[in-house]
Structure 1
Amino acid sequence: MTQSRRMSLIEAISNVALGYGLAVATQIVVFPWFGLHPSLGENLTIGALFTGISLLRSYALRRLFERWW
C-alpha cells in the first residue's frame, strides 16, 4: 500500500512538531546540567534553529538517496 501525498505531509508535519517539542523539553532539562540557563524564548529559538537544520539535512539525504537508487 502506498501513502498519499496528503498523508505524507501529515506525517512530516507531525514528525517535525514532535521533534521540536522533544528538543525544547530536552534542552530545558539538560542545559542546566552544564550551567546553561537560557530563557524559554531562547530555548524555543534554539530548538527552531536545530529543527530547521534537521529538516535541511533530512531533505538533502533523501534527495541524495533518490539519486543513488
Structure 2
Amino acid sequence: MSLVEVVTNALIGFVTSVPVNFVLLPLFGAPVKLGASMGITLAFTVVSVVRSYLVRRFFAVHIKRFAAWCQKIHDDFAALEHLT
C-alpha cells in the first residue's frame, strides 16, 4: 500500500507540476516548451516516487525498533528518579 500511496501522490504532483513548470521556468530565464516541461516534471516525479517509497519502507521497518529504544531510555530515566 505504501507504493500505491506514493504513486498516487506523485501522479497528482505531476499533473499540477507540468503547468507550474511551464509558467515558472521562463520567469527564471529558462524558456521551455510544453514537452520539455513534461520531461523535466517526469524526471523529478520518478525521483520523488523512489525517494518517498524508500523513506516509507525505512520507517515501516525501523519504527518499532526506534520506539523500543525510546521506551528503554524512558524506563532507564524513570528508574533513576527512584534513586533520589
**Deviations 1:12-61, CA, capped at 9 Å, x for gaps:** 55422211011111101111111111111111110100000000000110
Identity of matched residues, %: 32
TM-score of the superposed pair, with normalisation by structure 2: 0.63
1:65 aligns with 2:56: no
5+ residue gaps, structure 2: 64-84
TM-score of the superposed pair, with normalisation by structure 1: 0.75
5+ residue gaps, structure 1: none
* Backbone CA RMSD of aligned residues: 1.9
1:41 alignment partner in structure 2: 35
How do 1:1-69 residues align onto structure 2 when only pairs under 5 Å count? Answer: 9=4, 12-69=6-63
Number of residues of Structure 1 aligned to a counterpart in Structure 2? 62
Structure 2: distance between partners of 1:15 and 1:62:
13
Name the larger-Rg structure. 2
